[in-house]
Chain A
Amino acid sequence: DADVTQTPRNRITKTGKRIMLECSQTKGHDRMYWYRQDPGLGLRLIYYSFDVKDINKGEISDGYSVSRQAQAKFSLSLESAIPNQTALYFCATSDTGQGAMGGYTFGSGTRLTVV
């Protein structure tokens, strides 16, 4: 099994619909992140969480919300999806004990299309 699992892998949804992307991890890491990838823009941080009670906005949080249900689970929601939220979404984890030196472990991504 993958260390960081994202579901679904692919999703097509209609404008205005609510959608949730889920992420679970078996790394035992305390920090979790949601990134969005668009061609030519690299990865941009949406939200991050350093533990269950600590949620922080990233650089592009508008239109998104998150929930850290447990140390191992971090969900991203689009309350009312719009076409420019069509992108590849990645969940990542890291370990506070290693700080930035440990790097991030990424999931395989969720490809979301809003029509």
Chain B
Amino acid sequence: AQSVTQPDIHITVSEGASLELRCNYSYGATPYLFWYVQSPGQGLQLLLKYFSGDTLVQGIKGFEAEFKRSQSSFNLRKPSVHWSDAAEYFCAVGAYGQNFVFGPGTRLSVLP
């Protein structure tokens, strides 16, 4: 069965520090991989996506993610976090003809 895990429920970083949010998946087909961000009181906004090709993908708001097939991972990174990045982040996996499977989310807090 398809599954997505995000091992960190809550992460706190200082503003200006680097960030890495982890995502691991179990999926039978060749996966399409996504990261979404949910700001308080808002819906989910797509940050970036990976289908094929270069395993390092760039997204909006200065985020990037790296696909590692051998580790079944798609970790999200940002070199320098801003206070406005405080939100909940969801990793999702999909495939052609399949509905998305979402991870449980990681809540990011940013210290001034």
Q: Which residues of A contact B (CB under 8 A)?
A: 4, 33, 35, 40-45, 48, 58, 90, 92, 99-101, 103-104, 106-109
Q: Is the CB of A33 within 8 A of B104?
A: no
A-B contact pairs, 26 of them (CB 8 A): A40-B9, A40-B104, A41-B104, A42-B4, A42-B90, A42-B102, A42-B104, A43-B90, A43-B102, A44-B102, A45-B99, A45-B100, A48-B99, A90-B43, A99-B97, A100-B94, A101-B49, A103-B49, A104-B44, A104-B100, A106-B43, A106-B45, A107-B43, A108-B41, A108-B42, A109-B41
Interface size class of B (residues with CB under 8 A): 20 to 34
Select one of A4, A33, A40, A107 contacting B99, CB under 8 A.
A33
Q: Is the CB of A103 within 8 A of B34?
A: yes
Q: Is the CB of B100 within 8 A of A100?
A: yes
Q: Is the CB of A99 within 8 A of B96?
A: yes
Assuming A33-B99, A100-B95, is B90 touching A108 (CB within 8 A)?
no
Candidate in A90, A92, A103, A107 with the most chain B CB atoms within 10 angstroms: A103
| B46 lies within 8 A of chain A by Cβ | yes
> In the complex, which residues of chain B have a beta carbon less than 8 angstroms from the beta carbon of A109?
41-43
Q: How far is the CB of B25 from chain A (nearest CB, A)?
A: 13
> In the complex, which residues of chain B have a beta carbon less than 8 angstroms from the beta carbon of A33?
99
Assuming A40-B104, A43-B102, A45-B99, is B42 touching A100 (CB within 8 A)?
no
| B71 lies within 8 A of chain A by Cβ | no
| Alpha-carbon gap, A101 to B105, bound state (A) | 21
| Alpha-carbon gap, A13 to B103, bound state (A) | 29
Select one of B45, B49, B103 contacting A42, CB under 8 A.
B103
Select one of B9, B46, B97 contacting A103, CB under 8 A.
B46
| Alpha-carbon gap, A109 to B98, bound state (A) | 23
| B32 lies within 8 A of chain A by Cβ | yes
| Alpha-carbon gap, A101 to B41, bound state (A) | 26
